[in-house]
Chains A and B, each alone.
Chain A
Amino acid sequence: MTDTLFPAATGTMGQPERRYEAREKVTGSAAYASDVKLARTAHAYLVTSSIGRGRLQSFDLTAARALPGVIDILTHETIGDEIRQTPSIYGGGYMADTLRPLGSAEIAHWGQPVAMVVAETYEAAREAANLVVVSYAAEVAPVAGMGSSVATGQALDPMGFAVGDFDTAYRTANVTVDANYTTPAQHQNPMELFATQCVWEAGRLTVHEPSQYVNNVKFGLAAQLGLDPSRIRVISTYVGGAFGAKGFLTHRTALVAVAARRIGRPVKLVPTRAQGFTVSGYRAETRHHVQLAATQDGRLTALRHEGWEVTSRADTVAMGAVSMTARLYACPNITARVNVVAADRSTPGFMRAPGEMPYAFAMETALDELAHKLQMDPVALRRVNDTQTEPVGGLPYTSRSLMLCFDTAAAAFGWQGRPSEPATMRDGDWQVGWGCATAFYPTHAGNSAARVRLSADGRVHVESAGHELGQGMYTMMAQVAAEELGVPIAQVTVALGDTDLPPAVVAGGSSSTASVAPAIMAACDAIRRRLGIATGVPADVMPAMEASGLGTIEEFTEVRAHGTAPDSLRGLYRGMALPAGGVHLPDRVQFALGAQFVEVRVHRRTREIRVPRVIGAFAAGRIINPRTAHGQLVGGMIWGIGSALHEHSEIDTRNASYINANLADYLVPVNADVADVQAIMVEEEDRLVNRAGVKGVGEIGVVGVAAAISNAIFHATGIRVRDLPIRIEHLM
């Protein structure tokens, strides 16, 4: 079959192999965590706090206990000390937040689990959960979010930095921009809910849970339950979307494990969509103050980016992506600061391009404002300030193809001839505008191990506890082994998502391929060495395998990523393999870069906003599989449309609850909102980032789209919108 979208491999573009697990997924035979059938399963249902701040006074469990089928009810009073207090990932531990599951009578946020009912059926558990009567005391008005005042913010000094003399440069500049931007709270809302199943057999615990880091769950649970980690196995064969929400251990897992141990039966919990809004982390709302100064010809002379982010009272979490926005363009005088505003909310976490999306919205919109003031083409402004050396520490980029991306995307878009004045393009009753923005994402990798087995019959089996989130991990792992050993991909099988396999990095920070591919390559090298075949050049290992007379060769390798501590390999075996790289290296910076171009149409009367075209060009080093990479980029860009126009977790300030905690009211773009989205992959070779030359494409597609849309809306209408999501009412 010819494939026009993905022609054969060239240069840094690999083969567009079809998805390894496609058949299982389209036929529905792929078993996700909640699909796994365990004999005698009991069902759990969470009761969550209906207040935003206060204390539990008492529970009346009489009616719930009396319901036929109810087996057990866990509350902070009935659970005892079965779950220990352990630190969060921010404090060197494993938990997504520091609250202890059912740890006390304190209510820290709306939606906090306060009880879990276990029953014979899901229906009975749910009904009983609704019969649990919870009395709350000392209900204090919660702080729901950022509020109107940012004065309450607490500066996080280690995240701030300065070079040169911003104040003087800004004061004496020809042209300046000074503006504030906001982005709302958002939730990942993966299609697959936060399911957990736990089963104990002879003192050993098996957990089925969709996870971006199975070893985090294993070692975190061991710490919480005081168990030897070797007694815990975590399995996550398929994940139905994660986007950061399934990265780290949440309260539910230990609760289900404890319940299963108490009743001596497997227990299954599938929190509802609404409960999912507080079961795991989310993207907190942010506020930004950006000041830019430039010479008349557009060279940046001063740049200041200060961010404020909402966090919980229990944890200080900030994405602080000023570390990136201040390093994108040449500029001698820079000041950056990050602040957090503590609110009575659940602890925020990581959502696809966690800091990059909101901070890029602010910086890339500010640059457009500057281009407009300078009467300069926005692409030309980026070109004038392009640099191969980041301006804060003077470190080189390992590779940087930003302007190639701009030129490629601009040509595909037809940007040339764009009128510089806003509100000048029309199509009937529609005002038309074009905007662009830079996309960036730091290149990360973490320590990973892999095992590869070559059999005399030509079969290859690859194992690594990486994670299939839908991004194409199975396919990538099979493909790398097939290429390295010169065998057809159809002969390669893959196992992943299981703590019994060689450990790998957390599937976060777009680091999976950049981390696991080098480990697979190293294992294949070891096989080739055993067969006396030179490494680093294409070869078919089978003739040598035949000649060797061996039945099987199996090699296990661990690979330490650049920028990780020398002793960090041990962390692999403690669930501590976290990505390194990006802007946190002593010798260099590593980024994937891209350019987003957008056409918007705003109706003259109704102010409806439509996005008929989005074209992005991305340079992200070697692309192992253009098909799955393309899916990541296009999916990311569609997320970008949602972040610009739709997504917003709306908060009821009375109890700091989410009003639209369902998929009818939490708007994401539907097909009809997404017309023509094109992702172009620009060839780029980077031999420094990692052995595979891979920068990662999981998140960059989201970055910059919201700014490009807001810039295009300005170009269409002359109205500058600095708050997301942009809606009809902003354009009246």
Chain B
Amino acid sequence: MTPYSRPASLPETLFLLAQGQPLLLAGGTDVYPATQAQWLTRPVIDISAVPELHGITRGPDGLRIGAGTTWAAIAAAALPPACNALQQAAQEVGGRQIQNAGTIGGNLCNASPAADGVPPLLVLDAVIELASPRGLRRVALADFLTGPRQTLRAADEVMVAVIVPDAALSGASHFVKLGARAYLVISIAMVAVRLLVVAGRVQQAALAVGACSAVARRLPGAEQALLGLAPQETAAAIDAAQVAAALAPLDDLRATAVYRAEAAAELLRRALATLAQDHAG
């Protein structure tokens, strides 16, 4: 039988992590479907009862979301408009049952190119906090994700929290996803956009696209092009060729590269148009 433990604190988790090469289990919604064998082969540490991993708090260094926070809890939290995209994504990760079990930490550590949590956190300049028997460290999310299903997480590290710096909590954001049906579906492409509009002009812009490259990306060039525009002008300023060049999308069984670039540009326009409407209204 596979050894299974359910630590009740972070120190206990770190102690267990130091013992070998365990598998961390949060909501299990990625782990179980991915397990082709009929049982888990590595010792399992179920981190769902570790209090230090739960909850959303506002502290001196920004907004801190415990890695073990479920999507349902994120969707229900009172968060500033800059987190709208994150909360919208939280309601589009699978269906309600998945959102009740699946966690933000699981989504990021699983590092699927189609992880819906990533673009909304990229536009929030999110930073990841990791703990190990060797101590704590922080890494920008953009650096943490290194490839499809690859991250900087060491085998003995547990993700403790996702931190959104105060500076990124300004403005409002929006999330749009595209799949083979309208809901409960793996993304062919998804985008998050965050705009800070001051005196009717875009002062900060953050655009991120997922599922269109090995790792979800910010689009600095396209962001630059939006600065100084009225919100209503931003959708039209999206240049599909520029988006395609920035993404270098891949062909795979869900879509071709050419399609992904076109779809990403379109989704960015839709997200920007929706934000502009909010400003108009």
Check A605 against B266 for contact (C-beta < 8 Å). yes
The dominant DSSP class at the B interface is loop
The answer to whether B38 touches A673, judged by C-beta atoms less than 8 angstroms apart, is no
Interface members, chain A 552-605 (any B CB < 8 Å):
603, 605
The docked-state distance in angstroms from the alpha carbon of A729 to that of B262 is 13
Q: A130-B38, A732-B259 are in contact. Are A670 and B183 (CB under 8 A)?
A: yes
Whether B262 contacts A605 by the Cβ 8 Å rule is yes
Q: Enumerate chain B residues within 8 angstroms of A729, measured Cβ to Cβ.
A: 255-256, 259
Could you say which of B38, B184, B188, B263 contacts A670, with CB atoms under 8 Å apart?
B184
CA distance A610 to B181 in the complex (A): 9
Q: Judge whether A670 and B182 touch: CB under 8 Å.
A: yes
Contact of B182 among A605, A607, A664, A673 (CB under 8 A): A673
Say yes or no for B155: interface residue by CB 8 A criterion: no
A727 within 8 A of B: yes
Chain A residue contacts of B180, Cβ below 8 A: 646, 667, 727-728
Chain B residue with Cβ nearest A732: B259
Contact A667 B185 (CB under 8 A): yes
A645 to B179, CA, bound (A): 12
Not counting A606-B178, A729-B255, a sample of 9 additional A-B residue pairs whose C-beta atoms are within 8 angstroms of each other reads: A127-B38, A130-B39, A603-B266, A607-B259, A646-B181, A670-B184, A672-B182, A672-B183, A673-B183
A416 interface residue (CB < 8 Å to B): no
Instruction: Indicate the size class of the contact surface on chain B.
Output: 20 to 34
A27 within 8 A of B: no
Partner-A contacts on B (CB < 8 A): 33, 38-39, 94, 178, 180-185, 188, 255-256, 259, 262-263, 265-267
Q: Do residues A605 and B263 form an inter-chain contact, with CB atoms below 8 A?
A: yes
Q: Hey, which chain B residues are within 8 Å of A607, CB to CB?
A: 259
14 examples of A-B residue contacts, CB within 8 angstroms: A605-B266, A607-B259, A608-B178, A664-B33, A664-B94, A664-B184, A667-B180, A667-B185, A669-B181, A670-B181, A672-B182, A728-B259, A729-B255, A729-B256
Name the interface size band of chain A.
20 to 34
Give chain A nearest CB distance to B186 CB in angstroms: 8
CB A721 to nearest CB in B, in angstroms, measures: 15
Across the interface, which residues of A come within 8 angstroms of B33, CB to CB? 664
Please name all residues of chain B whose beta carbon is closer than 8 Å to the beta carbon of A2 when the two chains form the complex.
Answer: none
Q: Which of A130, A608, A671 contacts B183 (CB 8 A)?
A: A671
How far does the alpha carbon of A340 sit from the alpha carbon of B157 in the complex, in Å? 58
Query: Nearest B residue to A608 by beta-carbon distance?
Result: B178
Please provide the 10 A-B residue pairs with the shortest distance between their CB atoms, ordered closest to farther.
A672-B182, A130-B38, A672-B183, A605-B266, A673-B182, A670-B183, A606-B263, A606-B266, A673-B181, A670-B184
Which residues of A sit under 8 angstroms from B38, Cβ to Cβ? 127, 130
What's the nearest-Cβ distance from chain B to residue A430, in Å?
Answer: 12
Residues on B with beta carbons closer than 8 Å to the beta carbon of A603: 266
Cα-based distance from A690 to B39 in the complex (angstroms): 57
* Bound-state Cα–Cα, A626 to B116, Å: 43
Minimum CB distance partner of A603 in chain B? B266
List chain A residues, Cβ under 8 A from B255.
728-729
Q: Is B262 a contact partner of A606 (Cβ separation < 8 A)?
A: yes
Task: Tell me the bound Cα distance from A672 to B177 in angstroms.
Answer: 13
What residues of chain A lie closer than 8 Å to B188, measured between beta carbons?
728
Give A223 to B51 CA distance when docked, in angstroms: 61
A667 and B181 contact, CB distance less than 8 A: yes
What residue of chain B has the Cβ atom nearest to residue A675's Cβ?
A: B182
Q: In the assembled complex, which residues on chain A have CB atoms less than 8 Å from the CB atom of B267?
A: 606
Instruction: List the B side residues contacting A671 at CB < 8 Å.
Output: 183
A607 to B189, CA, bound (A): 13
Q: How many angstroms from the CA of A605 to the CA of B259 in the assembled complex?
A: 9
Find chain B residues with CB under 8 A from A606 CB: 178, 262-263, 266-267
**How far, in angstroms, from A610 to B178 measured CA to CA in the complex?**
12
CA A729 – CA B188 in complex, angstroms? 12
Chain B residues with Cβ below 8 Å from A732 are 259
Residues of B close to A610: CB separation below 8 A: 182
| CB-defined contacts of A608 to chain B, threshold 8 Å | 178
Q: Which residues of A contact B184 (CB under 8 A)?
A: 664, 670
The interface centre, meaning the residue of B178, B184, B255, B267 with most chain A CB atoms within 10 A of its CB, is: B184
The CA of A671 and the CA of B96, in the complex, are separated in Å by 13
Interchain nearest-CB distance for B181 vs A (Å): 5
Chain B residues within 8 Å of A130, by CB: 38-39
Complex formed: what's the CA distance from A607 to B178 in Å?
11
Q: Which residue of A lies closest to B37 (CB)?
A: A130
Q: How far is the CA of A519 from the CA of B9 in the complex (A)?
A: 68
CB contacts (< 8 Å) of B259 on chain A: these are 607, 728-729, 732
Report A699-732 residues with CB < 8 Å from chain B CB.
Answer: 727-729, 732
- A631-B259 Cα distance, complex, nearest whole Å: 39
The interface residues of chain A lying within 8 Å CB-to-CB of B39 are: 127, 130
- Measured CB to CB, the nearest residue on chain A to B98 is A664
A645–B178 CA distance with the chains assembled, in angstroms: 15
Whole-angstrom CA separation of A673 from B180 in the bound complex:
10
Q: How far is the CB of B166 from chain A (nearest CB, A)?
A: 35
B178 CB contacts on chain A under 8 angstroms: 606, 608
Of all chain B residues, the one with the shortest Cβ separation from A642 is B181
User: Can you name the residue of chain B whose Cβ is closest to the Cβ of A663?
Assistant: B184
Bound complex: CA of A732 vs CA of B258, how far in Å?
10
The smallest C-beta distance from B221 to any residue of chain A, in angstroms, reads 20
A646: chain B residues at CB < 8 Å are: 180-181
Cα of A673 to Cα of B94 in the assembled complex, Å: 15
Q: List the B side residues contacting A728 at CB < 8 Å.
A: 180, 188, 255, 259
Distance between B84 CB and nearest chain A CB, rounded to angstroms: 19
CA distance A669 to B178 in the complex (A): 15
- Nearest B-chain residue to A605, judged by Cβ: B266
Q: For residue B263, which residues in chain A have a CB less than 8 angstroms away from its CB?
A: 605-606
A670 to B94, CA, bound (A): 12
Can you name the residue of chain A whose Cβ is closest to the Cβ of B38? A130
A325 CA / B267 CA spacing, docked (Å): 42
Chain B residues with CB under 8 Å of A669's CB are 181
Set of chain B residues within 8 Å of A667, measured between Cβ atoms: 180-181, 185
Residues of A within 8 A of B182 (CB): 610, 670, 672-673
CA–CA, A673 to B178, complex, Å?
13
- Bound-complex Cα distance A663 to B267 (A): 27
B74 to chain A, nearest CB (A): 20
Cα A499 to Cα B184 with chains together (Å): 41
Contacts of B185 on A, CB cut-off 8 Å?
Answer: 667
CA distance A605 to B262 in the complex (A): 7
Residues of B within 8 A of A605 (CB): 262-263, 265-266
Provide the bound-state CA to CA distance between A395 and B112, in Å: 61
Contacts of B183 in A (CB 8 A): 670-673
Residue of A610, A646, A672, A728 with highest tally of chain B CB at under 10 A? A728
Instruction: Report how far A646 CA is from B267 CA in the complex, Å.
Output: 22
Report A103-133 residues with CB < 8 Å from chain B CB.
127, 130
* In the bound complex, CA of A668 to CA of B11 (Å): 45
Residues of B within 8 Å of A672, CB to CB, are 181-183
Q: In the complex, A678 Cα to B240 Cα: how many Å? A: 39
- Complex CA distance for A145 and B93, rounded to whole angstroms: 34
Instruction: Closest B residue to A669 by CB, please name it.
Output: B181
Q: Complex Cα distance A645/B182, Å?
A: 11
Q: B262 — which chain A residues lie within 8 A by C-beta?
A: 605-606
Once the chains are docked, how many angstroms separate the CA of A606 from the CA of B270?
A: 11
Closest to B1 in A: A127
Residues of A within 8 A of B94 (CB): 664
B39, B180, B183, B267 pick with most chain A CB within 10 angstroms: B180
Q: For the complex, what is the distance from the CA of A11 to the CA of B185, rounded to whole Å? A: 45
Cβ of B121 to closest chain A Cβ, rounded Å: 24
Quote the shortest CB–CB distance from B29 to chain A (angstroms): 10
CA distance A671 to B185 in the complex (A): 13
Nearest residue in B to A607 (C-beta to C-beta)? Answer: B259
Bound Cα distance from A645 to B185, whole angstroms: 14
Kindly report which residue of chain B lies nearest to residue A131, judged by CB atoms.
B38
Residues of B within 8 A of A645 (CB): 181
Q: Given the complex, which residues of B lie within 8 Å of A127, measured CB to CB?
A: 38-39
Least CB distance from A662 to B in Å reads 8
Bound-state Cα–Cα, A670 to B181, Å:
8
A668–chain B nearest beta-carbon distance, Å: 8
Give chain B nearest CB distance to A658 CB in angstroms. Answer: 15
